[in-house]
Amino acid sequence: MHSNLATSSTLLRRLQLGPQDSSAWADFARRYGPGIHQWCKNWGLDDADAEEFAERVLTQLLERLRRFEYDGKGSFRTWLKNVTLAAWAKLIAEKKPGHGANKTARLESPQARDDLVARLDAEFDQEVLGLAMLRVSQKVDFNTWEAFRLLALAGRPGWEVARQLEMKVAAVYLARSKVQKLLRQECAVLEKEGAKK
Amino acid sequence: MRRCPERTVLQQYLDEALASSDGDSVEGHIEKCKACQKLLAALVETDTPTGLAPKPPATPTPEAVIERFAALAIRLAHAAADPDPGAKMASRRLGS
């Protein structure tokens, strides 16, 4: 079940279904860790401090994700936001005065807090979109997917894509439009998975 | 179709809301009309889901750091699953 889940569900869903699934924890750290690391660096920490502080944020996040029982009423996105805010508040409250305290001063501002929430929210967008793309690519025919991929992801001009795929120019745009509509539907489904009906 | 279709007609084409014959004539016109190709591209572009082409960070987090984060997460997962392995071993010894 886990290998199937790994490619078909969001990490928050995987953590909800299997709080002891260490591969889900590792995948969560791989996906969300870099955003937290970048956040630390953007708010003034050097490489070593950023890595150390990012580990503390990740630890708080993961412990809270495990402890916080997701009630299924809100979206996973809201859950992630609430957990992030709580983790940030805990780290700020834990701050000890003395050497090194000034280093994290900028991370304590409301702007830094909102930036952290926004970065993790954007990462969640990326995760949901990636899973939606996987699902949609399996639902549409090769040319439809390729037209979308070449136009939207590779940034190729319509006439060139049409020539490569031996389609009409209008048809390649229609294909992209179809895939985008399906992506939006799948994203909505993924965001609601796990929520109580 | 000689004249360029209205913007609303192009949107209907993208929504597959045109009759088959009308769709065919729109396709035929667009094949030869650069202005309509441009407009159709713009209509599709505005409908793009958020985050489809994210910008990578200027200095990405090194792979070794990412793997350290993953290793930390695995340690936390194991600690959560078995919060006090020492106590468990002691109780096993007492039981034997």
pLDDT digits (tens, 9 = 90+) for A70-118: 666 667 888 888 889 988 988 888 776 665 667 778 888 999 999 999 9
| Predicted pLDDT at A197 | 46
The confidence score (pLDDT) of residue B82 equals 73
For A42-46, B65-69, B83-87, which range has the lowest pLDDT when averaged over its residues? B83-87
Asked whether the ipTM of the predicted complex exceeds the cut of 0.90, the reply is no
Q: Are A168 and B61 within 8 A, CB to CB? A: no
pLDDT in the model for residue B96: 41
- pLDDT category at B90 given cuts 50, 70, 90 is low
Give CATH for domain A139-197: 1.10.10
Start-to-end CA span in chain B (Å): 90
pLDDT in tens, A24-46: 999 999 999 999 999 999 998 99
In angstroms, what separates the C-alpha of B27 from chain A's closest C-alpha? 5
| Length of chain B as a residue count | 96
Confidence of residue A17 (pLDDT cuts 50, 70, 90): confident
Instruction: List the one residue out of B17, B8, B19 whose CA is nearest residue B43.
Output: B8
Residue ranges covered by each domain of chain A: 2-130, 139-197
DSSP B28: H
Contacts of B52 in chain A (CB under 8 A): 129, 152-153
The CA-atom distances, in angstroms, between A59 and each of A5, A25, B75 are 23, 10, 10
A4-8, A23-27, B46-50, B84-88: least confidently modelled range = B84-88
- Tell me the two tokens of residue A188: 């909505």
**Stronger pLDDT, B96 or A192, i.e. the higher one:** A192
pLDDT at B92: 52
Q: Do A20 and B77 count as a contact with CB atoms less than 8 A apart?
A: yes
Residue A1 has pLDDT above 50, yes or no: no
Q: Are A51 and A77 within 8 A, CB to CB?
A: no
Lowest mean pLDDT among A14-18, A44-48, A141-145, B89-93: B89-93
**Which residue among A29, A168, A178 places its CB closest to the CB of B27?**
A168
